[in-house]
Structure formats: C-alpha cells, structure tokens
Amino acid sequence: MKESILFDEFWSHPNKLLENHIKNMISPGDEELDKQVKLYHDIAKLKNNFQIYIRDTSNDKLDKNHSFLSAYFFLLNSKFDEIPTLFGFLAIVSHHGDVLNLDRLVREDNKFLGDNFENSKELKYWNEVADAAKNIEIYSRLSTSKDEFLKKAMSLQIFSCRLIYRNFTYKDFIDFKSLYSNLVYSDKFEAIFNEPRQENKQIPLCELERHISKLAEKSIDEKPNKRDTFRNFVLNNFDENYKLFTLTAPTGYGKTLTALNFTLKFNKSRIIYALPFTSIIDQTYDIIAKIYENSDISVSKAHHKTTIGEENLTEEDRYSKIKFLMESFSGEINVTTLYQLIFALFGNKNKDNVKFNQLKNSVVIIDEAQAIPYNFRKDFILLCEIISQRLGTIFIFMSATMPVIKSENFKEISNLEYFSKQDRYVIKWLDISGEEDLLEKICQVARDKNTLVVVNTIKKAQELFVKLKDKFCCFCLNGYMYDEHKRATIETIKRAINTNKDNPLASKILLISTQSIEAGVDLDFDVGFREVSPISSIIQTAGRVNRHFGKIRGELYVFPEISKFTNLIYGDLQKVSKAILEIFKQREVRESKILEISNLYFQKISDQLENLYIQSEIKKLEFENINQKIEEIMKDNHKQTLIIEPEENFIKDFEAKILEIKNSSNDEFTIRDILKNHIRKLSKFSINVTFKDKEKLLPNLRQIRGLKDMFYLPFGSSYFYSADYGLKKDTNLDITDEVFD
C-alpha cells in the first residue's frame, strides 16, 4: 500500500533541508564508503513522524528514531564487500550514540539484525521513507525493494555469525574508527555551522621565529646558545619520508618551541599538542597563545576544566560553535591532555571519536611521553603507526626520559650526545636512619640554597611543611590544592628564586612537594631531595635542579622511604626500579650518565611489563570492552571530586545561576550545553580526594543544590583548607596561623 506523504520538503534539522545537510557533509577527500555512509545515515528522517517532530520539537512522544532504518537502506544499496558493509551499518546505527561491541549487533536477541530482525518495528516505516525519497535528487538511484533488503540482511547476518572464527586486527579497528568518526564529526559540524567543512589556515612560521628571536635578545647567559644549537640540530634532521619521530633531550632545552618549529615544516593545517597534567597545559597554552595573539590563527585549549566565557553565551549558535570547535580539536593549534588523546584513540564514545577524526593530516605532539601508561603503551604506539599510514598523521613523542619504542618506523631527531655533555647535577644516595636525619640534612642545606624536597604522599608533604615552615621561607605543593593555588605557589616561588639569585641577601626558598613538581614545571633549585621512587620520577625531579645551567653543579639526594605505601603507589614500576636503585647506592651518578640509566629502566619495563593490553578485545572488535579496559587504567575510581568554595557566597550564586539557566527560554539542548559549561566552572576549584578523606570531612561539607552527589567545603573553613598547603590529609595536623583565601 502506498503511504501518504505529508510534506513537500524534508528537514534534517529545524528549517534545514535534509538534502542540503547531506551535500554539505560530503567532503572532496572522502572515500566512497565515507560518502555512502553519509548519504544514507539520515535517510529515515524522511518518515512522517520525524518530519512532524522536527517542526515542533516539543512533541517528543512520536517515534522519531531513524538510525537503524537508515542503516537498512544503506545495507540494501551497498555495493561493498561484507566487512565494509558491516562497518558502514555499525557506523550509521551508532552515529547518535556510542559504538557497541560488534557481536552485540548480530546477537540472536538483537531485534535489529538478530534472528527476528524482519519483525523490527522500524520496517513499518519502510514504504513511507522509500516513497518520500523519490522526491529528492540525491536518492534518485535508490533501491527500495524490501524483499531484496531482507535477503541481503539475512546474508549479512549469516556472515556476521561466522565472524567468531575471524580475528580482527588493529588496522580494522582504525578503519572503523576512521569511518565512524568522519560521519559523526561531519554530521555535527554541518548541523552547527550550516556549511561544508573548510580547510584550516596554514600556520605561519614567522610569528614563532619572531618570538624565539625576542627570547634570545632578552637572555644574556649561555642557555640560549645551547637551545639554539639544539633547535638547529633538530630542524636539520627534518625528513618528510618519516611520519613518526622521537625527540629525546635533557630538561631545560626548550623542547616545546623546538617541536613547534619542527612541526611547522610539515605544512599541516592542524597541530594537536598533548600533555599529561592540566597545570602544564595552561602553562603551554599561554606560551603558544601569546605567540599567535596578533594573528588569525586559532589556539584552543581542550581539557575537562576548560570553560567558555560568559560573553559568548548570549547568542545560541555562537555558543554551540565555540563549544564544538573547542571540544573537537578543530583549531589550528589545539593544546590538550594526554587523557583526551588516549580516549580519542581507544574510546568508543561519540564525543571521543569526534576528536579522532581531527587526527587526519595533523601533527600530534606528545609531550612527556613517559606518562603514557606502560599497561597499554605498546597498543598506543601500534595505533599511532597505523594512524600515520592510514590518515597521514605525524606523531612526535617528546621526553627527557623516553620509553623504549621497538619500531623502525620512528626516527630520533635529537642528538643523544647532548646527555653525555650535561653536568648540571649529580644524584647521590642519602643514607639516613629515618625522618629526623632527613630533616637535619634539609636544615643544613636549605639555609644557603634554594631547596626542593619531593616525597611520595600528600600526608608526608604536609607533615614536613608543618615542621619546616617556621624555620625557612617554605612552600608546599600537592594534589590536595586546587589549580589556582598551585599556579600561584609556582609563580611566587619562581619570582622569589629569581630575586634571591640576583640578591644574595634575599631569603632562600624551600619547597616541599609531591610528584606534582616533576614534569614540565619550570622551576630551578640548587639542591633537591627525592624519596625513593621509580627511576623516571627521580630523573624528572633531577630536572628541577640547576635546570637553567648555573655554574655550580646541583645535587639531588635520593633517600629511603619515609612515607609508607610507596609500593602501593607505584606498584610494578617500583619493583622494576629496585635493581637500578642499587647503582645510586653504590656511586654518584652525574647527569652525563642519566640517559644510560633511563634506557636501562625503560628496557626493563618493556621486557617485564609491557604487552598488547587490548589484543584479545581487538580480535573481536569489542569497542565497549576496549573503552572499559582503558578507563580502568586511567580513571581514579578510588577518589571523588570535592569543591573548595573560593569566596563567600560563591556556591549560593552558583546555585542561583543553575536555576536561572534551567528556567530560561532556550531549547532543551542549549540549556543542557550551557548548564554543562556552568558546572565546569566548579572544576577550577576542585580536588580529587579519597573516599576515606571525604568521609572524615562529611560533617563539615555541604551538598550543592541541583547537582547530585556534589559536595563542597564552605568558604572560611580555614582549619581544613589553606592556599598554602591545600586540604589537610590528616585533620589532626596542627597547622596554625593559616588563612583561607
């Protein structure tokens, strides 16, 4: 029976023709499978129920689902082999959600492609869609035979059942993600911008060169000469025949600007710069944004604490555009977290795959590459190799302590002889009998030298701070301080060190820290003390000693455990380190020998700990399970977020704003997005605390109205929190005369 067509034109979104939406999504560089998936992904929006809904989105009781019926039409019209057809089908059914395990799509109980798929309610709209499609030029060659579809669907189901005997590969995984991410990115981009995607602007080199020249003019010591020599060596190592590089260089050599300079030689239109910690992301973003502040190059910062300024929230489409560009690596230069990059590579979530699409023809810089968890480091590197071949992506791994990469596809672009020429510090074993011995040694040194002490737990850092704060110009840095206070502490220390280097009478600095200090923090101490820890952490701490090439060699003392729980904190890495730690106990190790020590450490990790972590899940394309396994490594499941109220009435005003947003006249999607952006503002004042610590504080905490299970410590709770040391790990710790600000 012929279905009645209720509309003369068909919309994909409010006031937007479906045909225009599809045409704008298809890009010149798309492969044929990409084009066909885009062509059919929304075809079921032609059904009457959807067309009624899209003209009045408040009418949400109608069956407006369209993904599976659209996938059915793709399947019928597919001229591809079984695997590409299956991938296209899965991409279309997942384009409004996350990707399922492949076997869930073809399981017996799957109502869409299982044993009883021919009874799917989606099929009752078949004729409605087929008749409407005849009026649209892009579907002029559409096959619409339902009988033919049922045959092809049965054939695909039988083929899919045989997949239990097939082992998929990492390349198959990337092939699917490439297809799926292209669809979801293009779909969202066109829906927001109402136009085809435009190529990014070429990033000019002149601004960066001008910035580097200004730095050289300002400096009068020998450091720029070392950095210039290093940068020139790296740039002369440029080789367009490679797509995978390592940049291994000592700390303090200016790897950030050198890597940017090297990157721009590829003439790619996008750079993605990934770092492990939000604190150094902000620092790196500020440097790069300043370089391009007078150009039309977009420098974006994308991590879970980034918010959109209020001035951009007044115009609905303006907000959605900024949000999309910021969260999808769509700027010319995108500074982000290693966490975001990892989930772009491995994740099954829709939002993560929007980012994955932007890896194509980009340069990805991975700073502090040792921070890639060893559990899945081999998987990560293998995916990078495949992506570089499949998507034309350039990867640059940077570190002073580079993990072992067993691949001939990587080229080292630094001169490793730089390490043998370094003599900024020496690492010594400090043989002490306990904490009192340590304190005595610190007190001897800290009177005349800027001193860094790094311990393994927040509790121990705060305890040492209490014991030393009245004797020295003392600071504390740890993970129980929120970001603004960490940054303020680092800047205060930096200024004080610069002052006392110029003025011998000025007070020396003593910093008690956890590993928050290790990577990327540009502070320069005369002497350091490091509690025993994995070798890479010891070397990273050493990188804060005589960082700026002072004439007097610095010293880093490694001392026995005083914090307890070191093995629990560092796990297998500490076990691997034990044999190498014996070297420190037997003799002093100068910086010139550090590369040798680092390579030995990472070789042991590679031999003893690294393997293909998700190989079995890849073989079955279990996208959900892969995401879950990576989450288990990356997420701090034993901790919970706590907000520290930064000023009086901050939370009260925040709660009032939530109510205002919910009651606004915006549509539900805009309300949801603006609400998310507003809630993100809390993250600036958040810390992650253990459940045990939160339980101890519960009588003093309050819940934020409108947010489920979100608690805050009210402003004025100076007994529990201070900008100087953060949240007390031990509530009985006696820290007096502290102010809350």
- The tens digit of pLDDT for each residue in 522-568 reads 889 999 999 999 999 999 999 999 988 889 999 999 999 999 877 77
Class of the CATH domain delimited by 420-587: alpha beta
| pLDDT score, position 664 | 84
Whether the Cβ atoms of residue 678 and residue 639 lie closer than 8 Å to each other: no
SS3 at position 541 = helix
SS3 at position 94 = coil
Query: Same topology for domains 206-415 and 420-587, yes or no?
Result: yes
Q: Does domain 206-415 have CATH number 3.40.50.20?
A: no
Whether the Cβ atoms of residue 40 and residue 141 lie closer than 8 Å to each other: no
- CA-to-CA dists, residue 687 to 73, 279, 713, 728, angstroms: 49, 13, 11, 12
Sign of CA dihedral 631, 635, 640, 642: negative
Cα 384 from Cα 173, distance rounded (Å): 12
Angle at 702 between CA 696 and CA 703, to 5 degrees: 115
Whether the Cβ atoms of residue 702 and residue 433 lie closer than 8 Å to each other: no
| pLDDT score, position 4 | 58
Nearest to 178 by CA among 310, 322, 354: 354
Q: DSSP label at 370? A: G
- CA-to-CA dists, residue 181 to 37, 453, 722, angstroms: 11, 46, 45
Residue extents of the structural domains in the chain: 11-172, 206-415, 420-587, 636-727
Nearest to 539 by CA among 498, 484, 465, 600: 600
- CA-to-CA dists, residue 374 to 272, 525, 602, 610, angstroms: 22, 30, 10, 6
Residue 722 amino acid letter: S
Whether the Cβ atoms of residue 544 and residue 523 lie closer than 8 Å to each other: yes
Per the confidence metrics, is the pTM higher than 0.85? yes
Element (DSSP H or E) covering residue 323: helix 316-327
| Beta pairing class for 473-477 and 425-429 | unpaired
Nearest to 341 by CA among 320, 321, 361, 356: 356
Residue 191 amino acid letter: A
Nearest to 66 by CA among 89, 37, 43, 94: 43
Nearest to 84 by CA among 94, 99, 74: 74
Which conformational region is residue 392 in: left (phi greater than 0), alpha (psi within -120 to 50 degrees), or beta?
left
| pLDDT score, position 296 | 87
Nearest to 92 by CA among 113, 67, 111, 63: 67
Kindly report, residue by residue over 192-202, the tens digit of the pLDDT: 999 998 888 88
SS3 at position 702 = strand
Nearest to 283 by CA among 273, 294, 268, 298: 273
Question: What does pLDDT average to in each consecutive run of 10 residues of the chain (741 residues)?
Answer: 69 94 95 98 95 83 87 96 95 94 74 65 92 94 94 88 88 98 97 88 88 74 70 93 95 89 93 87 88 89 58 56 84 93 97 96 95 96 98 96 94 92 94 94 96 96 95 94 90 93 88 81 92 93 90 95 81 87 92 94 94 97 97 84 94 92 80 82 90 91 88 92 91 49 24
3-state secondary structure 254-292: CHHHHHHHHHHCCCCCCEEEEECCHHHHHHHHHHHHHHC
- CA-to-CA dists, residue 105 to 90, 110, 468, 623, angstroms: 8, 6, 62, 12
| pLDDT score, position 219 | 62
The strand pairing partners of 636, in sequence order, are none
Angle at 707 between CA 704 and CA 709, to 5 degrees: 80
The strand pairing partners of 336, in sequence order, are 274, 302
Query: How does DSSP assign 572-636, residue by residue?
Result: HHHHHHHHHHHHHHHS-EEGGGHHHHHHHHHHHHHHHT---TTHHHHHTT-HHHHHHHHHHHHS-
- CA-to-CA dists, residue 341 to 185, 380, 534, angstroms: 16, 10, 25
| pLDDT score, position 730 | 82
| pLDDT score, position 737 | 36
Cα 559 from Cα 567, distance rounded (Å): 15
Where does residue 62 rank: exposed (0-12), middle (13-18), buried (19+ CB within 10 A)? middle
Cα 42 from Cα 36, distance rounded (Å): 11
Cα 676 from Cα 669, distance rounded (Å): 11
The CATH architecture of the domain made up of 11-172 is Orthogonal Bundle (1.10)
Q: Which two tokens stand for residue 632?
A: 């288990």
